[in-house]
Structure 1
Amino acid sequence: MTKVFIELSEIDVNTTRFIDTRFNLADSKAGFDLFQDGHVEGAVYWDLEKDLSNMEDVQGRHPMISKEKMTELVQSAGLSLDDQIVIYDQGAVPFSLRAYFLLEWAGFKNVKVLRQGFEEIKKALPISKNVTYYDKTRVVPSWNDNILLNMDDVREVVKGNKKGQLIDARAAARFRGEIEPIDPIAGHIPTAINFDWEQLKQGSTFLDKDSLTAKLSELTNKKKPVIAYCGSGVTAAPLYATLKEAGYEDVKLYVGSYSDWIRENEIETSI
């Protein structure tokens, strides 16, 4: 099983690089404001929409960034492939796990996400308002492209030409097509099953490994490829990561997700 989450008690602040990914979908400036008010000492800030998404692309509401942009991001943060990296956000939200996925895609092997949010973090780790600047590195990512699917890949899964179980991380009512508060068409990608990502957390903390495993183990065959998606590709990231922690052997993410799929494809409903 892959270990995704880390506990505060397991962290050595002297050997760890921290990434702060706090964000608010309703107020895109709020995360950086919080960072300026105080963050783990030495942390850099990555913004969901400025750094971790390509908002100029049309492939969904939070499209995938390019390899060039990801390379610039990790180099500007002064990171190396063998760094011990810990990512955090306000707690039990998807932003740190989006960064986790991108770093895994780029070939970083020692990346963990704090199970707790910032209110707990600041009780245990040194906090500062000072921004730390790092020398730019020349790190070259070692791309792990097989964890990332695009629309064409998902079409092949839906048609049965490629193995894989699509898992929709949205609320059940959205999956069934009963409501759709954001996208213009209600429903889900054909052949998908549903698991609401909100079940993965309690308050501002993600569930422990045993609880996650118990909730996720019976979704489908653990040896079968599983593909997480959601509305825009953001809340699929917690499902992607927790499926790995629950012992699934081949986990992928469709970053474009439902908002990308409906541009060109038929949907299903369960009404």
Structure 2
Amino acid sequence: MAKVFIELQEILEYNPRFIDTRFDLTDNTAGRKSYNEEHLEGAIYWDLEEDLSDMTSQNGRHPMISKEKMTCLVQKSGLNVDDFIVIYDQGAAPFALRAYFLLDWAGFTNVYVSRAGFGDLKRALPVSKSEPVYTKTTTIPNWTNRKLLTMDEVRQVVAGITEGQLIDARSNVRFKGESEPIDSIAGHIPTAINFDWELLKKDGKFLEQEELKGKLADLAPKDKPVIAYCGSGVTAAPLYSCLKEAGYENVQLYVGSYSDWIRENEVETE
């Protein structure tokens, strides 16, 4: 069973490389400002839109980055594939888990997301205003391409040609098409089921493994592929990660998500 989340006590036992991914979808400068004010000592900053998305692409609101961009990101960050890495954000947010997915895709095997947010972490760990400088590496990721689905591959799932269960991480009212505050078309990808990612957390933290197993146990057979998506590919990352934590063996992510799907495809409503 995959371990995605790490507890503060476990972090204190190691000397990890920290990645700060705090972000605010309503103010895309807030995360960097917060980092500049203070961050965990030694932490680098990865911005959702500057680093973890390709905002020049038309494939959804937070499109997938290229292998070339991801390779450059890990190299300039001074990361090696076997580094012990802990990613954090403000807590119970999707941003650290977006970074986790990208590193998982890139074949990093010792990557974890802090269950505690920055507010709790800074009470136990030293903080700094200085941005660290690490020596650039020549790391070449070991890509795990099966974790990432394109629109064409999702079409194969919808058509029943390829096995898999699509799971929509948005709210139920958006899934049913009863309300759509962001996208131009309301509804969901055909054949998808719904599990609101907000149900994966409480009290400012993601649920512990046993709780996640209980909530997610009956969504789909654990030995069959499950594909997480959302509106723009950001809040699907918590669902992707929590499905792994809950024991699902073959978890995939459609980063383009609903905002990409509706460019060329029909939808369903309930």
User: Once the two structures are superposed, what CA deviation does each residue of 1:34-73 show, in whole Å capped at 9, x if it has no partner?
Assistant: 0011111000000000000000000000000000100000
Q: Alignment partner of 2:119: what SS?
A: helix
Deviation at 1:137, TM superposition (A): 0.4
Distance 2:13 2:57 in 1: 37
Q: Distance in 1 between matches of 2:141 and 2:243?
A: 24
What residue number does 1:72 align with?
A: 72
Question: 1:15: how far off?
Answer: 2.8
After TM superposition, the structure 1 = structure 2 runs for residues 39-78 of structure 1, keeping only pairs within 5 Å, are: 39-78=39-78
Give deviations 1:126-184, integer Å, cap 9, x for gaps.
11111111010000111110000000000000000000000000000000000000000
- Cα displacement (A) at 1:89: 0.0
Q: Which residue of structure 2 aligns with residue 264 of structure 1?
A: 264
Give the equivalent residue in structure 2 for 1:11: 11
Aligned residues: 270
Instruction: Give, as a single letter, the amino acid of the residue that structure 2 aligns with 1:65.
Output: I
Give, in whole Å, the separation in 1 of the partners of 2:100 and 2:203: 21
Q: What letter matches 2:10 in structure 1?
A: E
Q: What is aligned with 1:154?
A: 154
Aligned to 1:35: 35
Q: TM-score, normalised by structure 2?
A: 0.99
- Distance across 1 between alignment mates of 2:260 and 2:269: 17
Q: Normalising by the residue count of structure 1, what TM-score does the alignment of the two structures yield?
A: 0.98
2:183 aligned partner: 183
Amino acid at match of 1:146: R
| Residue aligning to 2:98 | 98
**Alpha-carbon displacement from aligned partner over 1:86-127 (angstroms, at most 9, x marks no partner):** 000000010000000000111100000001111111111111
Which residue of the partner structure matches residue 114 of structure 2?
Answer: 114
* Aligned CA-pair RMSD: 0.8
Deviation (angstroms), 1:14: 5.6
Q: Secondary structure at the match of 2:178?
A: coil
Who is 1:170 aligned against? 170
Partners of 1:13 and 1:148 lie apart in 2 by 33
SS of 2:167's equivalent in the other structure is strand
- Cα displacement (A) at 1:204: 1.6
- Identity within the alignment, %: 66
Q: Bigger shift: 117-126 or 170-179?
A: 117-126
Report the secondary structure of 1:220's partner residue. coil
Question: Which secondary structure does the structure 1 equivalent of 2:123 belong to?
Answer: helix
What are structure 2's unaligned runs of at least 5 residues?
A: none
- The letter of the residue matching 1:58 is Q
SS at match of 1:221: coil
Q: Distance in 1 between matches of 2:210 and 2:89?
A: 22
Gaps of 5+ in 1: none
Q: Which amino acid aligns with 2:78?
A: G
Amino acid at match of 1:151: M
Structure 2 CA distance, aligned partners of 1:259 and 1:13?
41
Q: How far, CA to CA, are the matches of 1:116 and 1:201 in structure 2?
A: 12
Partner letter of residue 138 of structure 1? T
